[in-house]
């Protein structure tokens, strides 16, 4: 199993790479504890009418649901390496999946399985630290964005993190590594904090 770039350890089956009964419980917990972060990221997304949006590491599918309900996005695609999370996201969004508004597929940050220049916006919430290869993830997400497209990458933190989130926060040197990896693939990279998120906005894939 590949190791996480941020820690050098293998992803656990609870939340990093959910699998089996423990992974299903992890997904249930994530759906309840991460919603506020996902709403804050969505508030920065500025999704325009008809845009195609890709969520990488969609987990139980809460943000996919919010994108469909609260934005005028045309097509929304989610990719995740966990079969349990793909099943949970499909069940949570069953009507939108059936209609074709939302698509759910197997994929990772470094291998999304999506075509070149296919999306206007890519979002990754609470999974950048568990990617096996940070540079490969940045390159892949730049590849699937259209010219002028934008990427939102978020991790636990912000100005008022919960006690649970504080245990997951990345040190400053790791956050700097994320910014540098994105800067190697995008013309513009900015970093900001919301109440619960350390958020990176990258625009203009190279």
Lowest mean pLDDT among 16-25, 69-78, 169-178: 16-25
Q: Is residue 123 part of a domain?
A: yes
Rounded distance between C-alpha atoms, residue 160 and residue 130, angstroms:
22
Q: What is the CATH number of the domain that holds 99?
A: 3.40.50.150
Q: Is residue 11 part of a domain?
A: no
Q: Is residue 56 part of a domain?
A: yes
- When divided into structural domains, the chain yields a total of 1
Q: Is residue 69 part of a domain?
A: yes
pLDDT, tens digit (0-9, with 9 covering 90-100), for 101-112: 999 999 999 999
Rounded distance between C-alpha atoms, residue 158 and residue 173, angstroms:
16
Q: Is residue 67 part of a domain?
A: yes
Query: What's residue 28's pLDDT?
Result: 93
Range of the structural domain that residue 104 is part of: 20-205
* Distance in angstroms between the alpha carbons of the first and the last residue of the chain: 31
pLDDT greater than 90 at residue 1 = no
- Written as one string, the DSSP assignment of the chain is -PPPTTTSSPPPTTTTS--HHHHHHHHHHHHHHSHHHHHHHHHHH-PPTT-EEEEES-TTSHHHHHHHHHS--SEEEEEES-HHHHHHHHHHTHHHHHHTSEEEEE--SS---PPTT-EEEEEEES-GGG-S-HHHHHHHHHHTEEEEEEEEEEEE-SSS--HHHHTTPPPHHHHHHHHHHHHTTEEEEEEEE-SSEEEEEEEEE-
Query: What's residue 23's pLDDT?
Result: 92
Rounded distance between C-alpha atoms, residue 5 and residue 43, angstroms:
28
Q: Is residue 96 part of a domain?
A: yes
What is the distance, to the nearest Å, from the Cα of residue 68 to the centroid of all Cα atoms in its chain?
Answer: 16
pLDDT, tens digit (0-9, with 9 covering 90-100), for 147-195: 999 999 999 999 999 998 999 999 999 999 999 999 999 999 999 999 9
Q: Is residue 12 part of a domain?
A: no
Q: Is residue 2 part of a domain?
A: no
Rounded distance between C-alpha atoms, residue 68 and residue 73, angstroms:
7
């Amino acid at each position: 199993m590949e190791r996480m770039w941020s820690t050098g350890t293998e992803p656990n089956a609870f939340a990093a790479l959910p699998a089996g009964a423990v992974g299903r419980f992890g997904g249930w917990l994530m759906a309840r504890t991460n919603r506020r972060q996902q709403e804050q990221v969505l508030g920065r997304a500025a999704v325009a009418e008809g845009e195609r949006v890709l969520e990488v590491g969609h987990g139980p599918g809460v943000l996919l649901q919010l994108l469909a309900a609260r934005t005028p996005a045309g097509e929304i695609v989610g990719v995740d390496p966990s079969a349990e999370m793909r099943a949970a996201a499909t069940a949570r969004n069953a009507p939108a999946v059936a209609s074709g508004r939302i698509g759910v597929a197997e994929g990772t940050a470094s291998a999304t399985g999506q075509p070149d220049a296919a999306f206007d916006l890519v979002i990754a919430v609470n999974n950048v630290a568990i990617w096996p290869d940070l540079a490969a993830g940045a390159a892949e997400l730049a590849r699937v964005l259209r010219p002028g497209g934008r990427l939102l990458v978020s991790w636990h933190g912000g100005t008022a993190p919960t006690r649970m989130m504080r245990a997951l926060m990345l040190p400053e040197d790791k956050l700097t590594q994320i910014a540098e990896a994105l800067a190697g693939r995008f013309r513009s990279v900015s970093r900001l904090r919301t109440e619960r998120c350390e958020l990176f906005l990258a625009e203009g894939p190279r």
